[in-house]
Amino acid sequence: MCKGAADRSLAGMKRIAIEVHDLHKTYAGQPVLQGLTFAVGEGEIFGIAGRNGAGKTTTVEILQGLRRRDPGSGRVEVLGFDPARDRRRLRPLVSAQLQTSALPDRLRVGEALRLFARLAGDVVDWRELAREWRLEELLAKPFATLSGGQRQRLFLALTMVNRPRVVFLDELTQGLDPAARRETWLLIESARDSGTTVVLVTHDMDEAERLCDRVAVLHDGRLVTCGRPVELVTATGTVRVRFSCPGQTGLEDLARIPGVGEIGYDGGVASVTATPIAVVPLAGELARRSLAPADFTVIRPSLEDAVVSLLNGGSR
């Protein structure tokens, strides 16, 4: 299933930015990646999710050329280059923002932009970068005085000093307050809109659902599934319908509707588990009984629900 999902994704893309086939990595004889296969299209925000130890960080480190895959292990290409063999040629085309990034406390924002732009070969004017990422008012401020959101805005700007075609972001919004997190999301979307392919490692499924075109879910170094967030949610197969009901008499008859599963009743509120296609017949049956509850609510699973279900083997 995992390999097939990756093959279908590959077939549907016009241009490929990253292609991984049968990737393996072991540490001290312990397997960390076990036959990983997926592809990332140009201009995508591609999410990589999974529990701690699933192999997410190892994967992106191999894609950047920071770690080597096992000898003879499959194929890895980023923008047509093998990161292990062609790291020097690939380096100007990619960039990364790591989870533990930091700068010297006294380094000012303008100094950081100027320094990183110079190290990248002055591909872009650092002043233009400051304007693009709304850092002009912060140019004289030392790094230590920046808020969490301001630091992330600076880090994202620094990843763009070489106008990368692919950027890797690892747990970018961890620890940010809700306002700073949403601002960072807008900045990531801005990077994608400029044509950059974004690979986003995240534990935040709200973030993945908001940002990612597709999400790869890893478990024990294997690809569990890969698809659009809505596809992963739909794959769970059920929704929950809640509505007020004057009594529970006759509720059990709703089970005759194809797709209706568990039926519960508590404090004047009925709760029905059903497949999505059963919702309309269920509403029709209530109307036939002259019931039109104003609070008829369909609750679909979140992406987090879907991923937890997948990682638990289909049970939530």
pLDDT of residue 35: 94
Asked whether residue 313 is assigned to any structural domain, the reply reads: no
CB 64 within 8 A of CB 96: yes
| Residue 20 to residues 105, 158, 177, 242, Cα–Cα distance (Å) | 38, 27, 34, 43
CA 188 to chain centre: 11
User: 8 pLDDT band (50/70/90 cuts)?
Assistant: very low
Largest CA distance in the chain: 75
Beta strand 45-50 pairing with 75-78: unpaired
Give the domain range for residue 130: 2-234
pLDDT: which is higher, 49 or 4: 49
Domain count for the chain, please give it. 2
Quick one: 134 and 263 in the same domain? no
Quick one: 147 and 106 in the same domain? yes
Tokens 């009984």 belong to 289
Q: Which residues pair with 241 in a beta bridge?
A: 272, 298
Task: Quick: pLDDT tens for 219-240.
Answer: 999 999 999 998 888 777 788 9
Quick one: 200 and 271 in the same domain? no
Asked whether residue 137 is assigned to any structural domain, the reply reads: yes
Q: Which residues pair with 23 in a beta bridge?
A: 36
Quick one: 151 and 183 in the same domain? yes
pLDDT of residue 233: 83
Label residue 51 exposed, middle or buried (CB < 10 Å: 0-12, 13-18, 19+): middle
How does the average pLDDT of the chain come out, rounded? 88
Quick one: 184 and 253 in the same domain? no
Q: CATH number for the domain including 276? A: 3.30.70.980
Is the sign of the CA dihedral 110, 115, 120, 122 positive or negative?
Answer: positive
Quick one: 243 and 230 in the same domain? no
pTM of the predicted structure, to 2 decimals = 0.79
Is the sign of the CA dihedral 95, 197, 226, 273 positive or negative?
Answer: positive
Quick one: 72 and 88 in the same domain? yes
Quick one: 185 and 266 in the same domain? no
Task: Quick: pLDDT tens for 266-294.
Answer: 989 999 999 888 999 999 999 999 888 99
Quick one: 53 and 123 in the same domain? yes
Which one of 185, 206, 234 terminates a domain?
A: 234
The total number of residues written for the chain in this structure = 316
Quick one: 167 and 270 in the same domain? no
Ramachandran region, residue 116 (left: φ > 0; alpha: ψ -120 to 50; beta: rest):
alpha
Asked whether residue 312 is assigned to any structural domain, the reply reads: no
Nearest-angstrom CA–CA distance, 149 and 156: 11
Asked whether residue 123 is assigned to any structural domain, the reply reads: yes
Mean pLDDT of 177-183: 84
Q: Is the pLDDT of residue 203 over 90?
A: no
Quick one: 43 and 82 in the same domain? yes
Which one of 177, 211, 234 terminates a domain?
A: 234
